C-alpha cells in the first residue's frame, strides 16, 4: 500500500483516467482555426539557473480575425511523488488577422518544473526529462518538446 497522497485536480483526474471531459480546461468556442508550428525550447537542458524560453508560431488559418489563448503545460513523469501528467505553467492571448502569423515566447522559471515537497517544506525540482506541451486547451495539444533538468546548484 502506497503512503503517497495522490494529486487531484479535474485535469489530472481526466488525464490519468483517459476520460475526455465535455469542456476541458482552456475550452472555448472560436470562429477561427489556428495552426501551431516551430516549437523551440531553449536551452534544451540545464540546471535552471536561467529561465527556459519556450517559443512557437501560431497562424490564423481562417478568413476572419480571431483570438487564441496559447497554453504551455509541463509534464514530469520521473518525479518521486505523484504528479499530474501535465500542469499549466504559462499562457498568452494572441490576436491575429486572417492568414496572419505570430511568434509567441514565454519564459519558464525554476518554479515551473518544481513541486512542493511537504517533508522539506520547500519547492523541489528533480533532475530528468520534462515534456513541454503547447496547445489551445488541456486536451488540444499541438506541439511537444523536451527539457532535461541536469543536477546543479539550483536543484539542491
Domain spans of the chain?
Answer: 10-14+32-155
Cell readout for 134 is: 503547447
Taking CA atoms, 145 is separated from 10, 40, 44, 45, 89, in Å, by 24, 8, 9, 12, 14
CB atoms within 10 A of CB 145: 18
Percent of all residues in the chain with a pLDDT value above 70, rounded to a whole number = 79
The pLDDT tens digits for 69-109 are 999 999 998 988 888 899 999 999 999 999 999 999 999 99
Distance in angstroms (rounded) separating the CA atoms of residues 66 and 64: 6
Question: What H or E segment, with its residue span, contains residue 96?
Answer: strand 87-96
Longest C-alpha distance within the chain, in Å?
A: 56
The CATH class, in words, for 10-14+32-155 is mainly beta
Q: Rounded to the nearest 5°, which phi and psi values hold at 5?
A: -80, 130
CB atoms within 10 A of CB 19: 8
Distance in angstroms (rounded) separating the CA atoms of residues 79 and 35: 32
Predicted TM-score (pTM) above 0.85: no
The pLDDT tens digits for 1-50 are 333 334 445 454 455 556 666 655 556 667 789 999 999 999 999 999 99
Amino acid at each position: 500500500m502506497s503512503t503517497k497522497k495522490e494529486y487531484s485536480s479535474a485535469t489530472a483526474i481526466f488525464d490519468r483516467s483517459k476520460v475526455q471531459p465535455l469542456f476541458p480546461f482552456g475550452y472555448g468556442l472560436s470562429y477561427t482555426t489556428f495552426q501551431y508550428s516551430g516549437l523551440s525550447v531553449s536551452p534544451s537542458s540545464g540546471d535552471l539557473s536561467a529561465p527556459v524560453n519556450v517559443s512557437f508560431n501560431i497562424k490564423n488559418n481562417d478568413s476572419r480575425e480571431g483570438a487564441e489563448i496559447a497554453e504551455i503545460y509541463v509534464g514530469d513523469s520521473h518525479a518521486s511523488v505523484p504528479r499530474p501528467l501535465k500542469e499549466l505553467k504559462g499562457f498568452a492571448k494572441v490576436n491575429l488577422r486572417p492568414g496572419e502569423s505570430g511568434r509567441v515566447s514565454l519564459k519558464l522559471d525554476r518554479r515551473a518544473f518544481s513541486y512542493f515537497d511537504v517533508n522539506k517544506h520547500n519547492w523541489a525540482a528533480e533532475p530528468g526529462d520534462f515534456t513541454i506541451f503547447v496547445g489551445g486547451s488541456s486536451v488540444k495539444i499541438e506541439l511537444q518538446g523536451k527539457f532535461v533538468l541536469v543536477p546543479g546548484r539550483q536543484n539542491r
